[in-house]
Structure 1
Amino acid sequence: MSRVAESTIGRSREVELLLAALDGGAHVVLEGPPGTGKSTLLRTVARSRDVPFHFVEGNAELTPARLVGHFDPARVLSDGYVQEIFVDGPLAAALRDGGLLYVEELNRVPEETLNVLITVMSEAELHVPRLGRIDAAAGFRLVAAMNPFDAVGTARISAAVYDRTCRIAMGYQTAGDEVQIVSARAPEVPPVWRAGVVELTRRTRSHPDVRVGSSVRGAIDLVRVGTSLAVARGCPVDDWQVGLDAAFVSLSGRIRLSESAGRTPEDIVRQLYEDVFGPRPADSDDPARDGDSPGEAVARRQGRAAVR
């Protein structure tokens, strides 16, 4: 378990719970907002156990046939419905090889497809018309993930699903854990500035006008964009205007405002940015202004340097 914990920062408890559930023969639902490491956790667990891993993206297009598999239509005409021409879908493949079937965005899966999963979890077998029964090999487990806070394009998960699974809730990691994640996945930057970026991102989750805040992915992108922008403008990555522009790009599309907010995402991002990094310094050497393109900022900078 120690190897898994090292790869999933701040998730030692969830790693322990997931391994215990899988070893106990249970199917599992991981619930939490985006960016909390649900997919990373399960992929790491699968690698550590050296078991086959089958990924399914849950959406309205996931029909039972796409999940289970199908007969090759070109060969049905010549050979008929024989086992040799059946093309396994991810569910059939996971059942045969005793692997982990990971269903992402479970609450976006159509009801008729969910019913197939319910039967498999109950009976440990799958009945396919014209093919017969596929028994679950030892080790087969279903692990599903979902964001319970997303109401667009989703449906409520029935009690039948919850009755057949164990549930592990995954919230956001601590600030220290998120700093480590950003450090591992983004370019090297001054530690104080990186910590401020994480703090800014975390504050989007508690602002009164924000319904859904940004995950740590926003902080990672902010550091990446800020690093590139600083190179383009010829200034430090912790330059005030560079950070603000990178924050606009990285965070404004990730937050969802309350209907009564009456503000734009950019308003919220700027407010939070100034709360963390302070207002624009009066003696700032950066002549960039809000709304500047990188080229305009560089041009003014070069022009002022020529005057000097």
Structure 2
Amino acid sequence: MTALSADCGPVSGPQSAVPLLAADVVGRRREIELLLAGLDCGAHVVLEGPPGTGKTTLLRAVAEAGGSPFVFVEGNAELTPARLVGQFDPSRVLAEGYVPETFVDGPLIEALRTGGLLYVEEVNRIPEETLNVLITVMSEAELHVPRLGRVRAADGFRLVAAMNPFDAVGTARISSAIYDRVCRIVMGYQSQAEESDIVARRGPSVPAEWRDQVVDLVRRTREHADVRVGSSVRGAIDVVRLAVSLARIRGGSATDWRIGHDAAMAALSGRIGLHESSGRTTESVIDELYVAVFGTESPPEDSESGDPPGEA
């Protein structure tokens, strides 16, 4: 893999790309170094971590820095071997027969031919028969397609897969045959300061102290006793975005208690999952955490006295 300098010229090695990538991908220098090293030495890689930890962002940045073709595949139960590999166009086969020109490349063949990075998202949602195709490619660096023949991997081809180890719905256990052929990079959540930096980069401008409180709120969803799965930093970004837009509609400020509370409810209630035994609602948990971070709502200034202004 050839790294690029800031002016897109080639540099001596992947180590030269680390500072540039670290500036674009917040809080991931170690993971950048490991991914670059893995790709540079010819290894295939699994990025393992919860949603919102920057797995796709990291790989896209690495692919762009190295000038590598990037082929994205969404992993799900409908990803059959034919959809991954490709297939002959039936209408053209009737007229021209089974010739290479009538074959429509799938993402795997595209990546093999171009020497690109094949990024398979949610690899643990893929059917076993499709995973077996990937195992063959990782082992042999080639694939035999009936009636098409052998397709060898061009220089630079790498498989990078991503998975959320905490998602148990609609997923399958990754076999040892996969792990035996990849390097595994675990990506946890960034620090609070780094997540606040991400929100500042991707969200609208708001007071830094309030933004830090929003990030604190979201991080607390990951530690609450009733919560099975907490929100990623995407939740914090959406809270800020919603609060700014809601303030514009209501003619208030994004930092107003009620505006922030409503924005948090909308942005986070669908992002957290509770333990089945908790007996609570997501709204009650968010309300509890919001009060813990922002305090209780202050009463309106003119509600302390029932007398009209200026009268005793």
TM-score calculated relative to the size of structure 1: 0.92
Stretches of 4+ aligned residues off by more than 2 angstroms = 282-286
- Aligned twin of 1:304: none
Output the aligned Cα RMSD: 1.0
The equivalent residue for 1:126 is: 143
Partner of 1:35: 52
Structure 1 segment 238-277 matched on structure 2, within 5 A: 238-277=255-294
Hey, what's the Cα distance between the residues in 1 that align with 2:267 and 2:75?
A: 26
For structure 2, the 5+ residue unaligned runs are: 1-17, 304-312
State the 1:72 CA deviation. Answer: 1.1
- 1:195-234 equivalences in 2 (<5 Å): 195-234=212-251
Shift of 1:283: 4.5
Partner residue of 2:81 out of 58, 64, 68: 64
CA distance in 2: counterparts of 1:87 and 1:122, whole angstroms = 24
Instruction: Give the total of aligned pairs.
Output: 286
Partner of 2:178: 161
Aligned to 1:192: 209
Corresponding residue to 1:75 among 87, 92, 104: 92
- Structure 1 residue 204: deviation in Å? 0.1
Which amino acid in structure 2 is aligned with residue 36 of structure 1? T
Structure 1 residue 5 and structure 2 residue 15: aligned? no
- The secondary structure found in structure 2 opposite 1:61 is coil
Aligned to 2:128: 111
Deviation at 1:284, TM superposition (A): 5.6
Cα distance, 1:240 vs. partner? 0.4
Distance 1:124 1:12 in 2: 29
What 5-or-longer segments of structure 1 have no aligned partner?
287-308
Alpha-carbon distance in structure 2 between the residues aligned to 1:225 and 1:261: 28
> Which amino acid is 1:11 matched to?
R
> 1:279: which partner in 2?
296
Q: Does 1:50 align with 2:67?
A: yes
Amino acid at match of 1:79: E
TM-score by length of 2: 0.90
The CA deviation at 1:282 is 3.3
Could you give the per-residue CA deviations for residues 121-173 of structure 1, whole angstroms, max 9, x where no partner exists? 00000000001000011110000000010011111000000000000000000
C-alpha deviation, 1:285, in angstroms: 7.3
- What do residues 180-223 of structure 1 show as CA deviations (whole Å, max 9, x unaligned)? 00000000001111000000000000000000000000000000
* 2:309 aligned partner: none
Q: Secondary structure at the match of 2:177?
A: helix
Tell me whether 99-108 or 230-239 shows the greater mean CA deviation.
230-239
Structure 2 counterpart of 1:305: none
* Change in CA separation of 1:123 and 1:74 when aligned onto 2, cut-off 3 Å: same
**Where does residue 163 of structure 2 map in the other structure?**
146
CA distance in 2 between partners of 1:201 and 1:246 (Å):
12
Amino acid at match of 2:154: A
Name the CA distance, whole Å, in 2 between partners of 1:235 and 1:226: 10
The CA distance in 1 between the partners of 2:58 and 2:94, in whole Å, is 44
Task: Provide the rounded CA distance (Å) in 2 between the counterparts of 1:284 and 1:19.
Answer: 58
Q: Does 1:23 align with 2:40?
A: yes
Instruction: Specify whether residues 81 and 194 from structure 1 end up closer, same or farther in structure 2 by C-alpha distance, changes over 3 A only.
Output: same
Change over 3 Å in CA distance of 1:272–1:285 after alignment to 2: farther
**Aligned residue number for residue 15 of structure 2:** none
